[in-house]
Structure 1
Amino acid sequence: MDDRIRRHAEVLVDQCAEVQPGDMVRVVAPPVAEDLVVAVYERLGEIGARPTLSWRGSRAQRAYKLALDPEDASTAEHTLAAIKETDAYIGINGARNVAESSDVSADVMTALRRANKELQDEFRETRWVGTQYPAPGNAQKAGMSTEAYEDFVYRAVDRDWDEQRAFQSQMVEILDDASEVRIVSGDDTDLTMSVEGMIAENDADDNNMPGGEAFTAPVPDSVEGTIHFDQPRMWRGEEILDARLTFEDGDVVEYSASQNEDALEEILETDDGARRIGELGIGMNRGIDQFTYNMLFDEKMGDSIHLALGRAYDENVPEDREPNDSAIHVDLITDMSEDSFIEVDGEVVQRNGTFTFEDGFEAES
């Protein structure tokens, strides 16, 4: 077995999920990721954990969704019960065909997202991590050979995570003390939001592998202005291009896309919370240096920011505040490498992708 797969498994089990002897661990993965599952199970055995495995078949899921009446979508109580008894969850993504569910109706997908919200809420109470196996379908979507994609994935995953965390902590400290954030890029992005009292978090080797971002939540009704998401967003196999959103009092009041605008509309129509922003994330993983149509990696790219339509993460919102609530959490990305800056309380903290605490930073253009 490739040593990089074993190292990947060790990071997932030991650092991300922090599995202890006797823990009940749920592993969910597609068959294409069997090598990583084997390595994860080997490590769980060495620790003395108690795992259970659920294979996730994309063709079977598609068949179910095509046959399902949206009115029949409801919470899977047996899955909910299993999550409640789980100490740690390890989710592994990987696809032979990334567009397998592209012909499933929007009504079914929306109904299932709403039905699964209770599962998502309970799932977040466990120790969990999600990761990517370098499967052929994902390599093809990224426009890379399987071997090149493997190198890309492991370059992003196999890092000095203590060093990465320390690097990101500098941005976390800036966000934690901030009142207002302004994002400017080119001529068509100028967006402000309040983050006063919100809690900034450091995503290194925790819930996502790879990690690589500092993130917080805006005050839901504070987002004002317009943003152009110049990086594509895949949604159920459809590519949304050039999404533009205009906000007033926190709500999306205008939207457009140069391709698949109906998919963007589907996202926004999920529920009331889907028209508000639940997360501001700032990508900081320099090991991710190209766009690959995989949000787990793309949102962590250095020189990028992302905003998530929908649900805010509980860890970003103090107990005395009401978080933005939704059945979705959909990230959209803007490149900040050129003609761009991030301003915090009137001070530029990143210009053209370079942070104030990095060599080469220029406070003024």
Structure 2
Amino acid sequence: MTEPISNFARNLEKYAELAVKVGLNVQKDQTLVITSPISCADYVRKVTLKAYEAGVRNVIVEWEDDEVKAIRLRHAPEEALQEYPMWKANGLEELAKEGAAFLQIYAPNSDLLKGIDPGRIATVNKAAAMARDGFLNYLRNSRVNWLLVSIPTVEWSSKVFPGMDEETRMAKLWELIFKLTRVDTENPVEAWNEHIQNLTEKQKILNAKKYAKLHYTAPGTDLTIELPEKHLWVSAGSNTDKGIFYVPNLPTEEVFTMPVKTGVNGTVKSTKPLSYNGSLIDGFSFTFENGKIVKAAAEQGEDVLNKLLDMDEGARYLGEIALVPHDSPISNSNLIYYNTLFDENASCHLAIGNAYPFCVEGGTTMSKEELDGQGYNASLTHVDFMIGSAEMDIDGITADGTREPIFRQGNWVI
């Protein structure tokens, strides 16, 4: 029994170090703000220690509990659901303004909100999005270094490995996370530097091509997406305006950019379930006309999906397009994770809602009007959904109409 336990402890230490040194790349005298479910406390403590060892000035931990959230959604009066504590939203924005780094530990329970009125869920989500918009703009504009990682929970592991006993499924999920984040390698930091370089090569090729449009085809999908003239493809990492290089998602396999808001036409079908704030949406498809989703259907969670699309005007338009090869570590595990951080990195995906200003040349210093001129989509929400498969082909279309293959049967050909 001693060896597996010591090996797990070693990997957990390395996972904490990876978050601090590669994901966040915290700087001396920075403040680190951690938001985490209470069930992930052991990992939070290890990250906190690694952060102090790296020279941070202070670590602030904001604990969350999904069960408490669900109780509130079921029992709080309707008017209370329209409220979000502004002291918390203002506090986060003030910390961002002061240059803090932010870590969110994401461990969704996709069955948590079953049976709860989707309208009440939508009310809470919109209130939080509106209150936190100022803070989230620091993240969207890469003005601060931030990171999203996942930690196994009992509820999450039961979705990935149904029918297994708790101990076995938790051990299997931990093993997978260590593998898919390259923690199980001898030197995870070195392994990530190599992986970042590989993604950067694809990014450079796409930026040199300057495609005017992309055309996606797959079963249920025939979609054309126009790209801004000054679009930029981005891969694993970003630089803050202070020059801090960070990797906001661990794991990550994507190269992404933004579309022209009104330049999306056709149909697209999801290939994996979407776990959205405690609700599961599955078997869904969208029809776009001049960028807008004019038709949406889902086999499961259609009410929740429609409430999401009605959050604001921008929620019916795309804000991100991301390319991920089907032949990649997460996809090759042949599992559905019911966790967008993992599922999106197994599959080409799109995101409805807010775009990232750094996906257009000079975007982070542009005015709202200048961004609008580039086809930027603004929204309170940003939700990724998966569309890639082994049957997906993607063509790049140049300004003169020349078509070039980018993906064939789900994988890169450039």
Q: Same fold (TM over 0.5)?
A: yes
Kept after mapping to 1: 8 A contact 2:272/2:343: no
The structure 2 residue matched to 1:332, chosen from 365, 380, 385, is: 385
Task: Note if 1:250 corresponds to 2:291.
Answer: yes
- Partner SS, residue 209 of structure 1: coil
Partner of 2:111 in structure 1? 99
Partner of 2:52 in structure 1? 45
* Contiguous gaps of at least 5 residues in structure 2: 1-7, 163-168, 183-187, 238-245, 398-402
How much does 1:223 deviate?
A: 0.6
Kept after mapping to 1: 8 A contact 2:110/2:275: no
Kept after mapping to 1: 8 A contact 2:36/2:104: yes
Partner of 2:76 in structure 1? 67
**Which piece of structure 1 moves more, 200-209 or 64-73?**
64-73
Partner of 1:361 in structure 2? none
* Contiguous gaps of at least 5 residues in structure 1: 358-365
- Partner SS, residue 4 of structure 1: helix
The CA distance in 2 between the partners of 1:24 and 1:141, in whole Å, is: 35
Question: C-alpha deviations, 1:262-300, integer Å up to 9, x for none?
Answer: 121111101000010000011248221332111001101
Using structure 1 for the length normalisation, give the TM-score.
Answer: 0.89
The CA distance in 2 between the partners of 1:208 and 1:296, in whole Å, is: 7
Map 1:253-264; keep pairs closer than 5 Å: 253-264=294-305
Which structure has greater helix proportion? 2
Partner of 1:315 in structure 2? 358
Map 1:336-351; keep pairs closer than 5 Å: 336-338=389-391, 340-345=392-397, 346-351=403-408
Kept after mapping to 2: 8 A contact 1:143/1:292: no
Kept after mapping to 2: 8 A contact 1:26/1:86: no
Q: Amino acid of the residue matched to residue 349 of structure 1?
A: I
The structure 2 residue matched to 1:193, chosen from 212, 225, 231, is: 225
Partner of 2:180 in structure 1? 156
The structure 1 residue matched to 2:129, chosen from 106, 113, 121, is: 113
Kept after mapping to 2: 8 A contact 1:276/1:310: yes
Using structure 2 for the length normalisation, give the TM-score.
Answer: 0.79
Question: C-alpha deviations, 1:182-209, integer Å up to 9, x for none?
Answer: 11102x2111111132111002660011
Kept after mapping to 2: 8 A contact 1:183/1:192: yes
- Partner SS, residue 201 of structure 2: helix
Kept after mapping to 1: 8 A contact 2:319/2:352: yes
Partner of 2:269 in structure 1? 228
Question: C-alpha deviations, 1:229-275, integer Å up to 9, x for none?
Answer: 12211234332222111111111111211222212111110100001
- CA RMSD, 1 decimal: 2.1
The structure 2 residue matched to 1:300, chosen from 338, 341, 345, is: 345
Kept after mapping to 2: 8 A contact 1:9/1:36: yes
- Partner SS, residue 390 of structure 2: coil
The CA distance in 1 between the partners of 2:111 and 2:283, in whole Å, is: 20
The CA distance in 2 between the partners of 1:268 and 1:20, in whole Å, is: 38
Question: C-alpha deviations, 1:53-102, integer Å up to 9, x for none?
Answer: 2212222333444425244346432343333334211111235x443344
